[in-house]
A = this chain, B = another copy of it.
């Protein structure tokens, strides 16, 4: 039978999240062990096995929690443009808006606190379809839907062709950045993401 969640220790849960994120950052995902997380968190191993099914599962929840905290903090501070986790700006200039957001994404991808855990989860997701789909569903796809929304607005404004599928269109500038980050296929710079936006909007063929 499942454990009684009303008696669950919030203190342990938080300690486990913190320990998991710290260990992944410090020693890397492969050397992060359940035993290590338990020891660091001052927690019995059984407490981890009681609530999570695997190392990846722990890290996924820890990272979701971290993202939620970060989004909340950004929301409170009402900082626009630095890392708009909740919405993509709409100034009426699609090209400028996309360039701005992609530059912010570049900053986030290179932020060590986010890089280690998200790399670990992405890697696990490549080889473990269940983890992959959960990672995408809970973290990646919601971000991508922000682009869908912005592109739909652009279609109404006439800045993007009305017959295009926004969910595919966004991949033209998001996926190249993602691939460079995931697979080290090239450098990640503002100049690069700016070009991606330009190439995607105006096409490779001459006008």
The answer to whether the Cβ of A69 comes within 8 Å of any Cβ in the partner chain is: no
**Which residue on B lies nearest to A182, using beta carbons?**
B126
The answer to whether the Cβ of A90 comes within 8 Å of any Cβ in the partner chain is: no
The answer to whether the Cβ of A9 comes within 8 Å of any Cβ in the partner chain is: no
A126 to chain B: which residues have CB within 8 Å?
Answer: 119, 122-123, 126, 182-183
A207 to chain B: which residues have CB within 8 Å?
Answer: 203, 207
A169 to chain B: which residues have CB within 8 Å?
Answer: 199, 204
A93 to chain B minimum Cβ distance, whole angstroms, is 12
**Which residue on B lies nearest to A192, using beta carbons?**
B168
- Neighbour of A127 across the interface among B29, B174, B176, CB < 8 A: B29
The answer to whether the Cβ of A138 comes within 8 Å of any Cβ in the partner chain is: no
- Neighbour of A176 across the interface among B30, B119, B175, B199, CB < 8 A: B175
Within 8 A of B (CB), among A139-161: 140-141, 144, 151, 158-161
Q: Which of A165, A169, A204 has the most CB of B within 10 A?
A: A204
14 A-B residue contacts at CB 8 Å? A30-B128, A132-B183, A140-B185, A141-B185, A159-B205, A161-B204, A168-B192, A172-B196, A172-B204, A175-B178, A179-B182, A201-B203, A202-B205, A203-B205
